[in-house]
Structures are given as structure tokens and as C-alpha cells.
Structure 1
Amino acid sequence: MAVISMKQLLEAGVHFGHQTRRWNPKMAKYIFTERNGIHVIDLQQTVKYADQAYDFMREAAANDAVVLFVGTKKQAAEAVAEEAVRSGQYYINHRWLGGTLTNWGTIQKRIARLKEIKRMEEEGIFDVLPKKEVALLNKQRARLEKFLGGIEDMPRIPDVMYVVDPHKEQIAVKEAKKLGIPVVAMVDTNTDPDDIDVIIPANDDAIRAVKLITAKMADAVIEGRQGEDAVASVEAELAATETQADSIEEIVEVVEGDNA
């Protein structure tokens, strides 16, 4: 059974690609057709590749991989942070700082500074410092948290990187490739897929599409770490909050809606 259904993909708008004039010809084999100047992604392939990505992420997590979720554009920022945290992993959802991976030693020093400022506040040192100095420290902490908060506790450079829109995150992808870190990514019709190890052909501009795919990748990590029952229990909790149907007819209506 597919980890994401065709119906879920359609409802989230995963099939909408970019304008035909903005396409990357290397994505041709993942495109179903063109409508009104927009490429339509072949969702049968998305289903297949999402399954492969899920298996890859699950196996990596089962082997204690550190996973970094990356998505800095506004459509991705919230989902990337939420799903990384939910799966016990790490994220970057604001601007990617050049050298985040390839200059990890320097990044660790900035993270250490962030932790030092937090410790100073916790130990009451802020209470005895001049207000101007405290204001400067708070400003520094806010900036460090914005860019590095999601990797503050990351123990080492990641073993796997999941990316929303590798076209935008080209620097991150290049750093990962330089270090031999496999990249799993949502790849839209305007993107060169050659640098991506595990491709998920998908609309990476719609919030619902990003949330759907990213949540499934987080589920894969959770299953890899804790087993299939952990994901099933979460899904059961979500299902319990939904309206219950009393008959077969109502079940069909709830599941299929206007498509019934």
C-alpha cells in the first residue's frame, strides 16, 4: 500500500508544476501533461517515488542517522520546523548560512555562543549587567536562534538531508554533495534533479503539498526509530479527532467527498 494516496496528492495540489517556460527539460519524464501554460506532474510517479523516499528515510533512521530538514522559503518554513521536531530531528528554515556543513567547526562555535548566552540568562547574570549590554546579548541570541536554533543540539553533520525546493537551496545541496551526504528532496518542474539522490516529483510551492510530503518523511523517521506502531498510534489519534461516520454511505462520503 502506498504511503501517500493519489487522492491525498490531488487534494494537496502536488500535481501543479511551474509555468512551461520555466521548466527544466531534465524533469520531462516526471511530467504528465501541460494545461494552460502549466506543467502537470505525473502523480503515479510521485506515488512511486514517495514510497522509495519513505523507505530510504525509514532505513536511515533505523540505523540512527541524523536527519536535517531544510526549507527556507515561507511556504516550507513552518512545516519543516514542525515535522523535524516531531520526528526528533533537526532543521534549518531561515536563510542557509554558507558553510553550515562544510565549515561545521565555525558553526559549532556560533552554537556554543548561543548556548553561552542562554546559560548567562538562566544563571541570573543578566540581572547584574547594564541594560544596554543585556539588550545587545538578547539581539545576538535572537539572531543566532533564528539561523541556528534548529541545529543547536545536532550532534554532528547530518547523515541524510531532506530538502524542500533544491532549486532555492542550491548552496545546501552543494555542501551536502561535497561531503557525500545523500539528499532526499521535493523536486518541482523547474529544478535540475541530477544532484538529488532520492527524488520526489512534487509541487514545492503549495503549503499543503509541502506539509503532506514533509510529514510523511517525518513519519518514516519515526517508524525507523520507534517501529511501525509509533506511526500507527499517531495516525489513530488523528483519526479519533475526526467526525465519525455511522454508515457505509457516510464513510464513502467522508473518504471520497465529491469524488465518490
Structure 2
Amino acid sequence: MDEEMLIPEEEYQKSGVHIGTQVKSSDMKPYIFKIRNDGLYILDVKKTNSKLIVAGKMLARFEPQDILVVAQRQYAFRPVAKFAEVTGATAITGRFNPGTLTNPSLKFYKEVKVIIVTDPLADVQAMKEAVKIGIPIIALCDANNKTDFVDLIIPTNNKGRRSLAVIYWLLAREILKNRGTITSYDQFKYTIDDFEAQI
């Protein structure tokens, strides 16, 4: 039986979640649906959907303050900040200061138990530190990403404004549902627009 789609497949596509890059890493091969005539690799949104379901269940088991979400990419700043506000997670956008996870003597030190990275390529410092302290890593991975050290891959366009909003909106909604904070999706009062970066 097909897994329930969190939003209709067309919505994923309309938001550009499926639009990959012109470069494909071997790591991401299982998540590629096809290659377009213009050379863009297209991601399989059914796999995006199922990974979001898994991530929502996994993250709901953590205390909100134990979840860290990071993003270097500007279009991710608002989705990440909104995600943190809605779920109670901690967000770091922009530069990730070395030692944030590894040096308790620093004033910006954070002690967390799981990390979400928006792009393993851009968020490499956060990835390195998460690996060093041995916490699980959930990563939004595009067609070109290497996935070494990623514990849970969410295959998605991790560069687009709308796609980032959709992914973080869905993830926040799934976490709240799995926590029992909301009992139905109707009770989730935020819209995708609330999560989308302004131009």
C-alpha cells in the first residue's frame, strides 16, 4: 500500500521540492527519480514524503531544547527560525561558530542531542562538530550532496525559497502531531507562507 502523502504530490512539485541539481552524487542516486532534458536531476517526492514521516517521529522523541537546526543559506533563515519557534528547537542561522557543539567554555556553546542541517555542503562545520560529539544528523540533501555521516536523509531541493518553506513547515507539523500537541493537521495554525523567506 502506498504511504500517505503529507501534501498532494502536485504540491511538492509546485513548490520545487523535486528540482535537484545538474550534478548528482552517487550517495543520492537512490533518491533520483529521473533526469530532465535540461540536465537537472529530479528527486523522488514520495521518498521525500516518507523520510519526513520518519524524521517527524524521530524528532518528536527528543525534548524540544535538545534539537538544533542550522542553516547557512539565506533562503533557509526564515524557515529555520519559524521551525524553531513552532517546535521549541534551537536555531542557528548564518555562520556556525567553531566550538559551538564541542567547546563548553564558549559563551555560545550549545548542548544538544540531535541536529538538522539544511545543506551538508554549506553546513559543514556543524556537521563536523555533530560527528565529533556523536549526535544523530538529519540533513536536507539535494541531488549533489554527499551523505557521509548523515543518519537520516531528507531528499529535497535545499536551495529554493518555497521548497525550504514546505519542508520545514511539514517537518514542524509532523513533530507537533507526533508529540500530541496537535491531534489533527487542521489544528496546525501555520501556513507555508509563514515559513517562506521574503525576497
Identify the TM-score tier after normalising by the shorter chain. Answer: 0.7 to 0.9
Q: SS state of the match for residue 166, structure 1?
A: coil
Q: Which residue of 1 aligns with 2:17?
A: 14
Q: How does 1:107-186 map to 2 (within 5 A)?
A: 107-108=107-108, 157-186=111-140
Q: CA 1:162–1:4 in 2, change beyond 3 Å: closer, same or farther?
A: farther
User: Which residue identity is paired with 1:13?
Assistant: G
> What is the SS of the residue equivalent to 1:157?
coil
Once the two structures are TM-superposed, the CA of residue 101 in structure 1 deviates from its matched residue by 0.4
- Tell me the equivalent position of 1:55: 57
TM alignment of 1:1-260, pairs within 5 A: 1-19=4-22, 22-35=23-36, 36-61=38-63, 66-108=66-108, 157-229=111-183, 232-235=186-189
Tell me the number of residue pairs that the alignment of Structure 1 and Structure 2 aligns: 187
Aligned-partner SS, 1:104? coil
Q: How far 1:6 sits from its partner (Å)?
A: 1.5
Q: Which amino acid aligns with 2:61?
A: E
AA matched with 1:48: S
Q: Which runs of 5+ in 1 are unaligned?
A: 110-155, 239-260
Distance in 1, matches of 2:135 and 2:54, equals 17
Structure 1: distance between partners of 2:51 and 2:179: 21
- TM-score after normalising by structure 2: 0.84
Rounded Cα–Cα distance in structure 2 between residues aligned with 1:196 and 1:51: 17
- CA root-mean-square deviation: 2.1
Deviation of 1:186 after TM superposition, in Å, equals: 0.8
TM-score by length of 1: 0.66
- 2: distance between equivalents of 1:165 and 1:199? 11
1:33 match: secondary structure:
strand
Question: Which whole-Å CA distance do the structure 2 matches of 1:159 and 1:12 have between them?
Answer: 31
How far has the Cα of 1:212 moved from its partner?
0.9
Q: Once the 2 structures are TM-superposed, how far is the Cα of residue 75 of structure 1 from its aligned partner? A: 1.2
Unaligned residue ranges in structure 2 (runs of 5+): 192-199
- Measured in 2, the distance between the counterparts of 1:220 and 1:176 equals 23
Contact 1:182 1:197 in 2 (8 A): yes
The separation in 1 between residues aligned to 2:164 and 2:52, in whole angstroms, is 13
* Cα distance between partner residues in 1 of 2:52 and 2:139: 10
CA offset digits 1:106-145 (Å, max 9, x no partner): 1348xxxxxxxxxxxxxxxxxxxxxxxxxxxxxxxxxxxx
Q: Distance in 1 between matches of 2:158 and 2:55?
A: 16
Q: Secondary structure of the equivalent of 2:69?
A: strand
- Give the structure with the larger helix fraction: 1
Change in Cα spacing, 1:100 to 1:43, as seen in structure 2 (3 Å) is: same
Larger Rg: 1
